[in-house]
Amino acid sequence: MSTTPLRVGVVGAGSIAHIAQLPTLVARDDVELDVLVSRREDPSELVRRWGFSTAAPTVEQALERDLDALFVLTPRSEHVAGVRSALEADVDVFCEKPLATATSDAEQLADLADEHERVLMVGFNRRFAPTYVAAREEFGDAGATFCVAQKNRRGSEYRATFENAIHMVDLLRWFCPGEPVDVSAHAAGDDPWQEDGVSALIRFAGGGTGVLTAARTAGAWAEKLDAYGAERSAEVVAPDSVTLTKDGVSTVRSMSPEAFGWATATNTFGFAAAVHHFLDRVRDRGAPLTSGREAARTQALLDDILQAADLPVKEQEGRTWASHATR
């Protein structure tokens, strides 16, 4: 495997990028942060802070710099254009979730990656979080018979389930092998564009059953997953702990003690491991765990859940989505 530094471009440098991807990229000695794409009038402070060689106002200008990989970390409405431009320029892409605002666009991008033989990975970081990895490994290739995934928090937002619960939908697909064969769902609240939450029941071809709870009426943020199968149990209280039980004996792993008190969201939520996984695939040309194709399948299942709950599967015309990111 080549040790030549990878020339990397980054599009967008909002709050998640500052917490997750940028610190991880800076820490790698085999990565050259070549260009930052930003619409800021003066991005020089960001360029200096993270050690970029330069900045560019557009993705197209960045792609003129002979990049090996591009990280698309913009608001979701801009994902498709950035990813498509990079793939057409034969550049590998890491894209924040979701890959697109419409499943049809996500599928087309996955096709484009195949056509150009490019690595396309989507940031479903929970599959790389240590607690979730330990829980999933407990069930091997057969997966879990039952899996209950919850992500609950105070207050709703525009297209709340699409924006936030998609992580849990992806985990259900990962824990329960096979394509979904039956989906039922119910939404709470009077505004379909800003629901109070969703519950769903999914039956998978591999024999597993998944349950989703995504309440936006909770007292506080909480994320957890319970999985059962082959007389084993796994309980994840994200991102801090996982309890594995077999033959009546439970083993608990806690992230903070393992990190000597220095556990950070960058590592416990799997952000750093996802970046490392992508860069390793850029080098070895293997298929990433959360490829564009996998992401499109997760989004298709989420569409099924939204439709079953009588919620929209497309953006509201003329409505601007507010991201935590700033560019």
pTM of structure: 0.95
**Domain ranges for the chain:** 6-125, 127-264+291-308
Topology given in CATH for the domain delimited by 6-125: Rossmann fold (3.40.50)
Q: What does the angle CA 188 – CA 318 – CA 293 come to, to the nearest 5 degrees? A: 70
Angle between helices 292-308 and 103-115 (to 10 degrees): 170
Beta strands in the chain (DSSP E): 6-11, 31-37, 54-56, 69-72, 92-95, 120-122, 146-154, 180-188, 197-204, 209-215, 217-229, 232-237, 241-246, 249-254
**Highest CATH level, class, for 127-264+291-308:** alpha beta
- As averages over each run of 10 residues, the pLDDT of the chain (327 residues) reads 88 90 96 95 93 96 97 95 98 98 98 99 98 98 98 95 96 98 98 97 98 98 98 98 98 86 89 98 98 99 99 88 45
State the pLDDT at residue 1. Answer: 58
Q: Are 69 and 288 in contact (CB under 8 A)?
A: no
Query: Is the omega angle on the peptide bond into residue 239 within 30 degrees of 0, that is, cis?
Result: yes
State the pLDDT at residue 257. Answer: 81
Closest CA to 256 of 247, 248, 267, 245: 267
What number of H helices and E strands is found in the chain? 13, 14
State the pLDDT at residue 321. Answer: 64
Count how many Cα atoms sit within 13 Å of the Cα of residue 4 in the half-sphere of its side chain. Answer: 7
